[in-house]
Amino acid sequence: MRFTRSKLMIACLIASTAAISACSKADNTQNDDTLTATSPATGEASNLNARDAQQKLIKALQANLKNANINAKILDVKATEVPNIYWVSIEGMSSVYVTADGKYIIQGDVIKLDKNPHSIGDKLQATENKKHFAALKKEDLLVYPAKGQTKHVVYVFTDASCPYCHKLHEHMSEINAKGIEVRYIAWPRGPQFMPAMESIWCSADRQKAFDQAIAGVQLPAATCKNPVKDQYQMGLNMGVNGTPAIYSENGEYLGGYLTPEELDKRLNK
């Protein structure tokens, strides 16, 4: 059973604000099961070393998911800069935050308020994204090399039916001229768009096929084993929810549609 957002409604009550969607707040009452983890930001003392704390959390969270009739595989757990809040990667869905006792799941962003507000999970997610990108085979992508020296490489989740993907693609020559190599990852936005993307990826000339699909040409049905479904699932695991979704080689999410100038500026930041 896939662990979806609808399934999470079984496990927690979602409260929405303009920027944050979260489960109930963790109970402040201390008991024998409570973990006090070392906070990277404060260096507070820990009752357990990081490894033991994470293993205890995984065990508790797995049990609570099972009690909620949610069949999900926990892939990774990392401490955040917020005491007793962990970042958790779960197979088949976007990462979530979990309280140290494994009783509460927080969906969405947890924002640190300072001069440059940011999500406390950005760097952790970027590390995971970088691993995903490193595991990709270049021959499984649609690649547009930089002109001259390659200064940057970006990964872009794209769909031939997406208007903003079309707009980005119109500026490909300008992007490449800035020394940016673009590596397209197939991410059909719905089942109805899967056949077209598979046809592109099965074409001998993917660039030509992509251009044709953008222009509305009906491509022949796919006739090869292709990575489109796997790439789509990878996007889900990373939290992709629309196209284009642009990432740096280091896994940092740069944004949706960006002009060549905006993209270059963010990469050189």
Query: Which residue numbers are catalytic?
Result: 159, 162, 165, 189
Q: Which residue has the tokens 């929405």?
A: 16
Separation CA 72–CA 1 (nearest Å): 8
Residue 140: alpha-carbon gap to chain centroid: 19
**Calculated CA dihedral for residues 118, 150, 235, 86, nearest 10 degrees:** -40
* CA-wise closest residue to 16 among 125, 111, 147, 107: 107
Cross-strand partners of 96 = 88
**Strands laid side by side in the 96-99 sheet:** 74-79, 85-90, 96-99, 105-106
Number of neighbouring beta carbons within 10 Å of residue 66: 11
* 118: Cα within 13 Å, side-chain hemisphere: 12
Q: How do beta strands 105-106 and 96-99 pair?
A: antiparallel
